[in-house]
Amino acid sequence: MTNKNSKIDKNILIVANWKMNPVTLDEAKRLFEVVKKGVAGFSLPRRKLKFAIPEVEVVTCPPFVYLSNFQLSASSLQLGAQNCFYEEKGAFTGEISPLMLKNLGCRYVIIGHSERRQYFGETNEMINKKIKAALKTRLKPILCLGEKEEEREQIKEILENQLIQDLKEVSPGQITNIVIAYEPVWAIGTGNYCSVDDALSAYLMIKKFLTNYYSRNLANRVKILYGGSIDNQNAASYIKEARMDGLLVGGASLNASEFIKIVKSCQ
């Protein structure tokens, strides 16, 4: 296991999932502006340097209705969405297509979050269609998967089954454009702490699956994030000790100073 005090020597991706918050555009703008200022200097300026320093890429995923207020040009913050449909356009009342998101400047889209699986009946088949549609539009899907409390004993089968179904027909050429977020359902929004050992073991299961299914080289290029009750105290441990390539932050991303502390702790 990596040392707690070791330096982070790889590029990190930190994603803020605002979920269905906040309820006014003014609040959303304020949160966005504070975070944008707070993380300025973490990512883009580093890219301009000639020598390689690990980067921290920060992505904000607000509700759809706020996206067009947050168009970015040369910002240190990227935009993502929390969901999309699998068709480009047409008679699908209430749905948002990946093409619309791309045209609004999104780079990422979260797909298959456990709340969508639980409350909106999203199946692995639907998730697989959404992933393929997002890839076709050149959006990077952040595929969420993880086991429920009662499935903890069968975690290997559960994760494998989700990966097999969600990544069906995703080609070797496409897999490196996908980010995988391991989010144990029992740790989401509950304050339940997923130990570093449990997170590391899930990380290794996912890497092994990708290695067998694609190749070691491709598996090494797929980013794996951890998500579930992250705060500024535990954030870095998932990266330094559980080898994760980044974080998917829910509740703590609604508090700008807490979120900025999380980003800083992962440098």
Question: Which neighbouring-strand residues pair with 179?
Answer: 142
Cis ω before 22 (30° cut-off from 0): yes
Tell me if residue 180 falls in helix, strand or coil: strand
Token digits of residue 12: 């990190």
- Site stretch for ligand PGA (CB under 6 A), options 30-38, 56-64, 147-155, 226-234: 226-234
- Does residue 80 interact with ligand PGA by CB under 6 A? no
- Does residue 78 interact with ligand PGA by CB under 6 A? no
User: Of 228, 232, 236, 243, which lies in the binding site for ligand PGA, with binding defined by CB under 6 A?
Assistant: 228
- Does residue 62 interact with ligand PGA by CB under 6 A? no
Angle between helices 25-39 and 256-265 (to 10 degrees): 30
Closer residue to ligand PGA in complex, CB, 112/228: 228
Token digits of residue 151: 């499935």
- Does residue 38 interact with ligand PGA by CB under 6 A? no
Q: How far apart are CA 12 and CA 15, in angstroms?
A: 10
Binding marks (x or -) toward ligand PGA, 146..185, rule CB under 6 A? -------------------------------------x--
User: Of 101, 249, 256, 263, which lies in the binding site for ligand PGA, with binding defined by CB under 6 A?
Assistant: 249
- Does residue 58 interact with ligand PGA by CB under 6 A? no
Q: For residue 89, which of 79, 101, 81, 80 has the smallest C-alpha distance?
A: 101
Task: Tell me the residue nearest to ligand PGA as measured from the CB.
Answer: 250
- Does residue 210 interact with ligand PGA by CB under 6 A? no
Closer residue to ligand PGA in complex, CB, 38/184: 184
- Does residue 98 interact with ligand PGA by CB under 6 A? no
Active site residues: 113, 183
Closer residue to ligand PGA in complex, CB, 103/118: 118
Neighbour tally for 255: CB within 10 Å = 16
- Does residue 250 interact with ligand PGA by CB under 6 A? yes
Query: Minimum CB separation from ligand PGA for residue 180, in Å?
Result: 13
Total binding residues toward ligand PGA, as defined by CB under 6 A: 13
Query: Minimum CB separation from ligand PGA for residue 241, in Å?
Result: 18
Tell me if residue 12 falls in helix, strand or coil: strand
Could you list the beta-strand ranges (E) of the chain. Answer: 12-17, 56-61, 77-81, 108-111, 140-145, 179-182, 224-227, 246-249
Question: Are 248 and 202 in contact, with CB atoms under 8 Å apart?
Answer: no
Query: What ranges in 75-166 are assigned the alpha helix state H?
Result: 98-103, 114-119, 124-136, 155-166
The residue ranges that bind ligand PGA (CB under 6 A) are: 17, 183, 188-189, 227-230, 248-252
